[in-house]
Amino acid sequence: MSSPPTARSFAPVLRSEWLKIRTLRSLLGALLALFAATTAFSAIAGVSETSDPEFDPLFMALSGVAPGQIAAISFGAMAVSSEFHGGGLRLSLAAVPRRGRWFAAKLLAIGVPTLAVGLVTAFAALVVGRAGLGDAASGLSTGEQTRGVVGCAVYLTLMALFAAGVAALLRSGVGALSLIIPFILVVSFVIGDAAGAGVADFLPDRAGQAVLYETPDRTLGPWTGLGVTALWTAAAVTAGTWSLRRRDA
């Protein structure tokens, strides 16, 4: 049975967007940095001694996601912002006049490799993190570790798509990175200290990272936290789509 016309027309657009990502070294470098930074910092955290007897072993093993997410955010932002240089967006829209279809293909071309690399990265981080923790991580169940790995990959994917939406809204990768990275590194913690943990738990980064804990001591559970991050991502993507449809290429 032949594919529906919409599927046949979408596939070439998706292949084109994936080709763009494969041929830009900076984007491949961002995915490599995602793997390297996350696993390296998880390894360091794993061998570091902790004076807190109640530390969370799952989060400690996957704690490299904190610096690693910067690479995922950079990947999403740069993949979109590359279209705003040298008339790239005009050429893309000349080939695909339906802007919504083009942006959907772009987001899929960003999300799928981020998810794939995120799964490999989270698994590697867990392995090296657990090796460093030794007996301290022996109590982690298979279900908890699986949830941590899958949840980590989904979180990284959502943050990459969140950055893609913001970059489309601002029409600038630098603008998106200048907004998002200081927010997750500084502002998120300042808000948490000033307004209390309950408010900070609903911020996109803090909410999604609940899935990295063996026993989240937060307002949101592991999957509800990812759900909140997904809502932030959906809002950013919607705003980016609106900007693409309303503004000239």
- Which structural domain, as residue segments, surrounds residue 34? 5-246
DSSP 228: H
Domain count, the chain: 1
Intra-chain end-to-end CA distance of the chain, in Å: 38
pLDDT tens for the chain, 249 residues long, are 444 555 567 888 888 888 888 888 899 999 999 999 999 999 998 777 555 567 889 999 999 999 999 999 999 999 999 888 766 677 777 777 678 888 999 999 999 999 999 999 999 999 999 998 888 888 899 999 999 999 999 999 999 999 999 999 999 999 999 999 998 888 777 766 555 557 778 899 999 999 999 887 777 889 999 999 999 999 999 999 998 888 665
With both helix axes pointing from N to C terminus, report the angle between 142-170 and 65-81 in degrees, rounded to the nearest 10: 30
Find the Cα–Cα–Cα–Cα dihedral 109, 112, 118, 121, rounded to 10°: -90
206-240 burial code (b ≥16 CB/10 A, e <16): bbbbbbbbbebebbbebeebbebbbebbeebbeeb
Q: How far, in Å, CA of 44 to CA of 1, rounded? A: 53
